[in-house]
Structure 1
Amino acid sequence: MSSSLTESLIPEGKLLVHIAENGHSFELDCDETTLVEAVMQSIELAAGIHFNDQLVLCADMKLEPQRPLSAYKLPSSDREVFIFNKPRLQTNSPPPPPEQVDIVEVSEPRPPASSSDPHPLDDASDPALKALPSYERQFRYHCQRGHVIYNRTLAKFDHCERLLREQKVQERALEVARGNLDQYYRMIHQNCSEFMKRYKQQHRFHSDLLANFEKDMHKLRSTKLHPTLQTATRKCLLDFVKEDNLRKSAENCNGSHRQFENKVVQFNQMFADVKRRVEDLFTSRAPFPIRNLELTIKEHQRYLNEQKSIMQSLRFALLVYTFFPPIHLK
């Protein structure tokens, strides 16, 4: 299995994997029999995210390490896999390190000097002819300097486009994370609702038992045995049980009942807080100005095109001058 930075369309037999925290993308060579854990191991080597810290999502599915990619209909040219770094998902976790942008600085050419670039017209008697070499040197200098500036601009523009692609990946990762969170929240909300429904039924039943304990004890005591069944120690139904043990069990049950009530109250408070935070997350989605950024980059493309046009004109003029120099008058 190998990895490389992805470009656009994913060929067959490739799995497109994105790192959510920085938008980096990798193409992995794999097939439907490849285990998810093999993908995670490759990402650990390529991106430095520890195996146990990886949360792997594809659309609304969480990928389990021990299952093959075929279980999730992968690899597929129209499906992306996102790797989330679990420690980064914590509330107080530090942000990922700033993105490194390495731009090779190309030094500009030195201003021309007649001593290092002599010309036959340097000693011409006519001032107009004598000025021509200086104009030529300046022209070549500006042409070379323009070439350096253009290449530097082109490199920076390429970085801008790369960073834009990575921000688009992060934007899609947010949508996938929201979808997964929504699905998980619906599941725990349903489980919580079912638990509370069952709890209320059991709570009502147990409360009735505890509330009627003394009444039931009185019934047992007042229910006398048939005279032929009575003995010196058994006169009523209550004599068939150990009253002290029964009262102690009732006391313990009553204490456990109150403790469980408190636990359920705490659980409801926790779930209410989770519900509030989830709803706030979905209702207060901060705008992610990717579209504006993309438009800005496209608008600045015309400046790059203008620089390219200027450079082409300068090269053409220099080429014409080289092959058709001015006539040297004597």
Structure 2
Amino acid sequence: MRYLYLIVLAGIVLLGASGCQAGPELAFAASTKAEELNKVANLRRDVQLLNLINGLDLSAEQMQFILDRAREAQAIREEITGQAEGNSAATSQVLSQLRETLMRGEVISSELRDEFFSVDRDNHALKEKWEQEIARLALEVEGNLEDHQLYALEHYVPCVIPPKGEARIGQAEDTHAGQALLQRIRDIPDDQFEARKEKIVQKVLERVLAYLPKDQALALDQEEETEWLLCFLEKVRGLDEMTFAVEKEALIEEIKSRYALPEVPVDVSATIERHLLDPRIIPLLEEKLAIKLEG
């Protein structure tokens, strides 16, 4: 969770405005069809992948290279899926026999034992074959990308609407959301804030602890954190309008650094497997490549 500080600020706003009461949950209408949901999910995925393609600024040659590997990955996927379906029937048959044997309280025969290990080996072999093939293709794609494109992939987070002027593909790095939340904190009426501030901070800390890694949560000094948050809120609310306008970026950085989580190393090959070798990227690259070549 990169934006833990937004959870903190949003929690303060919501709890401050609602008196610490939970809001109603939104739910999809019961009449929504599975087909419609699937269509929406596919369109969302297409938009995410198009953001990635556009953000990487791929050349026509790179698009063709990735397209060829994505097609190869899909062919391997279909081949292995077909084999897995055959293995699934054999596995089901063996497991059914094992179930019946154990239900009768009988000892599993050596023949049935060997049959199970045989189909199990086949299943593992298919899984290993897929992992090796997709890893090979991902490494080929990785070798075809420039350093700045690999850097972008390391920081890629799928999204539908990338913020304006962002430095990273599909990832919201600007602080507009945080600034808006700070303003809403300033707008909480004084009497409400004073009456609820300790309870607000306590509830927010509970949310923070839920998101933090276990070791980090255990190491957190809750008393110290409560005092820091109260001081931070008083500072945010105590600034005049002009000073707040000047210092709001610094305030965001202050709370971001306070609740920064350690960066997890990103496996670029895994990102390529998940996104650039996704079968849904094939028609997108075909269309993008056609447009690029026409231009």
What is the TM-score of this pair, normalised by structure 2?
Answer: 0.25
Larger Rg, first or second structure (1 or 2)? 1
Which structure has more relative contact order (CA 8 Å, sep 6+)? It is 2
- More helix, by proportion: 2
What is the TM-score of this pair, normalised by structure 1?
Answer: 0.23
- More strand, by proportion: 1
